[in-house]
Structure formats: C-alpha cells, structure tokens
Amino acid sequence: MRVLTIAKNLQIGGTQRVAQALSIGVAQLGNDVAFLAYAGLGPRKTFLDAAGIPVFGPLDEEKDALEKAIAWKPDIVHIHRSGYPDPTEAALMRAFKDSGTKIVETNVFGRFDHTIPTSLIDVHLHLAKWSLLKWRKWGGRKASPATILPNCVETDRFRPLSDAERAAAREALGVREDAFLVGRIGQPIPAKWNPAIFDVFADFRTRHPNAQMLLVGAPTGYAERAAKLPKAVREAILFREPILSDELLNEYYNSLDAFLHLSEVGESFGLVLCEAMLCEVPVVTLSTPLRDNGQLEVVQHGVGGLVANSRAGLVEALEMLVADPDLADRLAKQGRESVIARFSLDRIAKEAVAVYRAALDPAEGGLLSEKPDHEWMMSLLRNSVRPKGLLWTDAAFQFTHNPHIYRTLRRLKTALVK
C-alpha cells in the first residue's frame, strides 16, 4: 500500500509530531510512505529523512511538488487538518481525488466543514469520542464514514527518572527540596492555556506554602500577569521558554509532582497529557464540555489523574494528591501503563492501516460507523471531582451542537472576521 501523508509543515507542533511519527510507523509495517508538507518544512523533516521517507514541498518553493506527489501514485492520502475550511487543503484533496486516490483526514479539532462536498473525503478520523460526537451532531445527516484514531505517542521518548536524576533536575530548575511542584508545559498558543491557572495556584498555595509552579512555553503576557500577583505567589512561579529537546522536556515533566492542565478551548487529544503520564506524573485537568474535551478520555478520572469541573474542583484535586501519596503514586503508575497500552506508535499505526484498508475495500466499511451517544457523554461528565451543573451543561451542549445553529454561528463569525 502506498500512503501519502499531508500536513501544513514539519514544525514542532503536536499535529506535525503525530503526522511525522505515524508516517514512520506505517512505513515500519511494510508500506510505502511519502510526505507532502505543502506550506513549509521544519525540524521534523530530519526524522523523515532518517527513515528514508521522501518529502515533497513546500509548494511555493518546489513548484512541481504537487505533480511529483500525484505521480508517486498513492493509494491513500492521509491529510492532517484542523477541520476548519481551508481552500488550499480543499484544492489539494480535489487534485488527488481526481487521480483516483482515496482521501482520509484526521480532523484535529472535530469541526464539520460544510464548504466541501461530502464525497471529497472518504474517511474522517477523530482523535477522541468527544470530537466524533460533536462532529456527527454538527454534520447531521451529512456526516459520512468516520471513526476514532487517537494520536500516536512515541512512548520510548518519555520515561520516569531515577530519584537521583529527578533531584538533580529539580535542583537545576531552582525547585526547593521540600516543594510540591505543580506545572504546565505547552506551546505558547493563548487559547491552549487559561490564565485562571494563576488563581488556582494562588488558592492552593495559601494552604500549602511550600508549593511552587513551573510554566514551560507559556504565552506572551503570562509573565506580566504573574508579576502582578502577591509577592509570595509570584516568587513561587518558575518560567521557562518552549523547547524542542525531548530529553530536557523529560526532565521538566519528571520535576513535577502534578501536571496542572487548564485550556480555554480544551483538548482534542492532549499530547502533553500523555507525555506527563509517561513520566509518571499524575494529571489534574479541567473539563470543558462546551469546547473540545478529549482530555477527559486521555486522562480517565481515577486512572491517570483527576478530572475537575471547576477551579475549586482543581484545587480540591490537588489537595487530594497532597493528602494521599498512595493515590498520587497509583495514578502515576496507572497513567504510564494506560498511555502505552492505548497510544503506542505500533498500535496506532496498525489501526491506521486497518482504516486505510477499509477505505479501499467497502466490504470492511463496518469499521467506520462508530457513533458515541448521549448517555456515554453524560457518564463521562459525571465521573469527576465535584460533578455539578450537568443539566445546564447538557442543555447548552445540545443547543450549540445543533447543525443549523452551528452553521449560522460559523457564518456570523466568518463575517465578523472579514
């Protein structure tokens, strides 16, 4: 089987990391794989080069890149896209569709694109059940074959350190020996963070004066926000710039006693959560039911961490970890085991190949009909610290995920942007 992966570029972001890793994983299973980075290259190209995977693009520099990619004659094009309308991506998919190639998309944010014909994409892949549920509701009867393919995680790149290694990493960061260190690591994208993390930490620290917080890759303006906090709180916060080195990231994760996760838009998946869990760091995450909420499925309340429904719930969850070291240790061990069992590169690559075969053979189409239901959603929301307000949440979810209302809101947002 010949598989062409398409992504915008090969920079350090999570989508690019997954597209690169999955391409290598599919190739390791004996398939021919190539890559089209249509808008730019980046540091992840070196991994593809090392694996012997040809890379086409970018289109503005390699003028015949698209023609070369089509001439490579892929059986499957697997495009990793946001899900939002994008004329360039639509044109690329049409070009390959016209040549008889099957089109598979990973819809990263689970958005239903009403600007393209449903026949253009043969299979829609979602990173979590939550994303698929939202997409099917927004798409209504137009929702075509779809299933779940989680992000693959390079589980060998993140591991727990020895006690001595961990102590050295904490010392290098300037963490006090007796500190309970909470932290957040990510790319400096404002919507993927939430400034309420300062309020949560300040509240937690009033009860635990030995607490410190590490923020790696925080958006512009977060250091200025911290500077306005009370002296005792701001001096307990450590900032570090975003980094590419997995080795240094591994040290940062291992320095933490808890990974404190708040995102204004939630997570369609949450690679940082997996990385923290692989380092045996328990996760405390905020549920965001009206946005993306894949973090609940990745963490699994009581398995790899604790899920909260409010800021007060986040503080309570941190308190639970401090008060019960056995709980923290159990979540840490379970989290690592869970990520390896569910998201290893080998497992996800095999699942991807099964999807490609189903796209090529209609007889295997039963694989593409998964439909999470309302009861599943409510059960997921109830399984958390301080579950409350769920009737209102349910009503708001149903309203904002009506396909007609969704299309109206999207048109209004597009008009306002213009």
CB burial string 359-373: b at 16+ within 10 A, e below:
beeeeeeeebeeebe
Contact assessment for residue 277 and residue 254, using Cβ atoms and an 8 Å cutoff? no
The residue behind tokens 């590169």 is 345
Torsion of CA 124, 127, 215, 205, to 10 degrees: 140
Give residue limits of the domains in the chain. Answer: 2-152+344-368, 156-343
| 50 CB-near residues (< 8 Å, 6+ apart) | none
Tens-digit pLDDT profile for the chain (418 aa)?
999 999 999 998 899 999 999 999 999 999 999 999 999 999 999 999 999 999 999 999 999 999 999 999 999 999 999 999 999 999 999 999 999 999 999 999 999 999 999 999 999 999 999 999 999 999 987 777 999 999 999 999 999 999 999 999 999 999 999 999 999 999 999 999 999 999 999 999 999 999 999 999 999 999 999 999 999 999 999 999 998 899 999 999 999 999 999 999 999 999 999 999 999 999 999 999 999 999 999 999 999 999 999 999 999 999 999 999 999 999 999 999 999 999 999 999 999 999 999 999 977 767 787 889 889 999 999 999 988 888 999 999 999 888 888 778 777 877 776 6
Q: What is the 3-state secondary structure (H, E, C) of 183-207?
A: EEECCCCHHHCCCHHHHHHHHHHHH
Name the residue type at position 145: P
DSSP-derived secondary structure letter, 157? G
Q: How far apart are the C-alpha atoms of 295 and 276, rounded to whole Å? A: 13
Handedness of CA 407, 408, 412, 415 (dihedral sign): positive
The residue behind tokens 């007796």 is 178
pLDDT reported for residue 156: 94
Q: Is 218 exposed, middle or buried (0-12, 13-18, 19+ CB in 10 A)?
A: buried
Q: How far apart are the C-alpha atoms of 218 and 239, rounded to whole Å? A: 8
DSSP-derived secondary structure letter, 372? -
Closest CA to 189 of 242, 258, 250: 242
The residue behind tokens 């291992």 is 254
Q: Do domains 2-152+344-368 and 156-343 have the same CATH topology?
A: yes
Would you state the structure tokens that stand for residue 191, as one six-digit string? 């919507």
Q: Is 180 exposed, middle or buried (0-12, 13-18, 19+ CB in 10 A)?
A: buried
Bridge-based pairing state of the strands 32-37 and 305-308? unpaired
Q: How far apart are the C-alpha atoms of 167 and 169, rounded to whole Å? A: 5
Residue 307 pairs in a beta bridge with 285
> How many Cβ atoms sit within 10 Å of the Cβ of residue 411?
11
> How many Cβ atoms sit within 10 Å of the Cβ of residue 176?
13
Handedness of CA 393, 394, 397, 399 (dihedral sign): negative
Q: Which CATH class is domain 156-343?
A: alpha beta
Q: How far apart are the C-alpha atoms of 6 and 16, rounded to whole Å? A: 10
Coil/strand/helix, residue 257:
coil
Name the residue type at position 376: W
CATH fold of the domain at 2-152+344-368: Rossmann fold (3.40.50)
Distances from the Cα of 401 to the Cαs of 89, 93, 290, 293, 396, in angstroms? Answer: 25, 27, 9, 14, 8
Quote the strand ranges of 187-331, DSSP E. 211-216, 237-240, 258-261, 283-286, 305-308
The residue behind tokens 């960061």 is 173
**Number of residues written out for the chain:** 418
pLDDT reported for residue 244: 81
Largest pairwise CA distance in the chain: 65
DSSP-derived secondary structure letter, 128? S
| 131 CB-near residues (< 8 Å, 6+ apart) | 107, 109, 110, 268, 292, 294
Name the residue type at position 229: L
> How many Cβ atoms sit within 10 Å of the Cβ of residue 271?
21
